[in-house]
Amino acid sequence: MNLAVNIGKLKLKNPIICASGTFGFGDELKRLVDFSSIGAVVSKTITAEPREGNIPPRIYETDCGVINSIGLANPGVDSFIKEKLPALGRLKTNHIISLGGFSEKEYKQLVEKLDKQDKVDAFELNLSCPNLGKEKLISQSQKLSSDLVKGLRKLTKKTLIVKLTPEVTDIVKIAKAVERAGADAISMVNTYFSLAIDIETKKPYLGNVTGGYSGPAIKPMSLYRVWKVANSLRIPVVGGGGITDYKDALEFLLAGAAAVSLGTINLTDPNAAKDILSGVKAYMDKNKMKKISDLRRSFNG
C-alpha cells in the first residue's frame, strides 16, 4: 500500500498533517509523539514581528468544540529562524511554515527570509485568522487574495499552500482565484467566527470578546466546503475542520481532499495522528485500495 501524497512539489509520506496553532512548531512534542505517523506539521503562524497575542482568557471550551482567540502569539520570524528552525530538521516529518502578515510587504519579507532556509519545506499562507480585529479577512476578498498570491508566487519556488476562511458566501470562487494566481494547494478550513457569553457576569468569556470555533461541531460544514472546492479545482486540497478519528479523516479523503489536517484533536491527544493513520490503512486494506487517491475515486456522491 502506498500512502504517499504530493502537495505541489512537496512529497509527504502519508496524508496526515498537523494543523497550524495546534502543534507548536513540532519540536515541543517530540517526546510524546510518533512522527512516523505525521506527513507534515504546519507551524504556528509566524509574523514579521514577535506578537504577544490577545488578552486572556483565549480559549473557551464548548460541549463539542473550542473557541480560541489566541491572536497569532509567536516569537517573530527572526527569532523563529534562529531559535526554532534548527531543531526542526531533526524531526522525521515535513515542515510547512505558516505565514501571517498585516500587509503585502510583511508577507513578502517573510517569504524572502524563509525561502533561503533548507528546513522550510513549504509555505502555508494564513489569509484567514479571525482573531486580529480586522474588518475583513484577506481570504474574504477574491482580489486581495489573488493579488497577494500573485506577488508571493514570484518570490519562491517552494510549495505555496493558501489557507482559506470558511466565512464567505462562495468559497469556490475564492479558491479558484487563488488557484489562478499560482497557488499549489488550498488548505481549508480555518475557524468560524463565534461568541460565548457568561450569563452570570453577563460578559463574553474571551478577553477578545469573539473567537474562532473549531473541533467536532464544525465537521459537517467543513466537509461540505472541502467537497465543493476539491471537486472544482485542479490543485490539491488539504481538508479538515473537526476531525477527531479515522472515520472523520476518511470522510474528507472520500470527499476529495488530497490530505487531511488535524487541529483541535491535538490539544487533547497529541498522538492522534497515529490512530488516525492506522485506521485509514486498515480501511484501505479492507477495501483493497492501493493508494490514497483510490479513496477519492471510490466516492459514490
Ligand X SMILES: Cc1cc2nc3c(=O)[nH]c(=O)nc-3n(C[C@H](O)[C@H](O)[C@H](O)COP(=O)(O)O)c2cc1C
Please answer whether residues 45 and 99 qualify as being in contact, where contact means their C-beta atoms are separated by less than 8 angstroms.
yes
DSSP-H helix ranges across the chain: 77-79, 85-88, 104-115, 142-153, 171-180, 219-230, 246-255, 265-268, 272-286, 293-298
Within 8 A by CB and 6+ apart from 177, the residues are 142, 143, 145, 146
Report d(CA 21, CA 42) in Å as an integer. 8
Q: Identify the residue among 37, 47, 54, 68 touching ligand X (CB under 6 A).
A: 68
Binding string, 225-264, against ligand X, x = CB under 6 A? ---------------xxxx------------------xxx
Q: Identify the residue among 44, 51, 95, 225 touching ligand X (CB under 6 A).
A: 44
Task: Identify the H or E element spanning 68.
Answer: strand 65-68
Binding string, 73-112, against ligand X, x = CB under 6 A? -------------------------x--------------
Q: Is 253 helix (H, G, I), strand (E, B) or coil?
A: helix
Q: How far is the CB of 29 from ligand X (least distance, A)?
A: 14
Write down the catalytic residue from 129, 185, 229, 272: 129
Of 204 and 241, the one with the shorter C-beta distance to ligand X is 241
Question: Among 49-57, 62-70, 78-86, 138-146, which window interacts with ligand X (CB under 6 A)?
Answer: 62-70
Q: How far is the CB of 242 from ligand X (least distance, A)?
A: 4
Of 186 and 289, the one with the shorter C-beta distance to ligand X is 186
Within 8 A by CB and 6+ apart from 220, the residues are 242
Q: Is 82 helix (H, G, I), strand (E, B) or coil?
A: helix
* Complete edge-to-edge strand list for the sheet that includes strand 192-195: 59-62, 65-68, 210-214, 192-195
Of 5 and 249, the one with the shorter C-beta distance to ligand X is 249
Neighbours of 299 (CB within 10 A): 13
Interacting residues with ligand X between 118 and 177 (CB under 6 A): 126, 129, 163
Question: Among 4-12, 20-28, 148-156, 252-260, which window interacts with ligand X (CB under 6 A)?
Answer: 20-28
Contact call for residue 208 and ligand X (CB under 6 A): no
Asked if 18 is an active-site residue, the reply is: no
Of 20 and 93, the one with the shorter C-beta distance to ligand X is 20
Neighbours of 46 (CB within 10 A): 29
Q: How far is the CB of 61 from ligand X (least distance, A)?
A: 10
Of 37 and 264, the one with the shorter C-beta distance to ligand X is 264
Q: How far is the CB of 296 from ligand X (least distance, A)?
A: 20
Neighbours of 27 (CB within 10 A): 18
Q: For residue 138, report the phi and psi dihedrals to the nearest 5 degrees.
A: -55, -45
Q: Per the structure block, which three cell numbers stand in for 152?
A: 508571493
Report d(CA 42, CA 7) in Å as an integer. 13
Size of the site for ligand X (CB under 6 A): 27
Q: How far is the CB of 18 from ligand X (least distance, A)?
A: 9
Give residues in contact with ligand X (CB under 6 A): 19-22, 44-45, 66, 68, 70, 72, 98, 126, 129, 163, 189-191, 214-215, 218, 240-243, 262-264
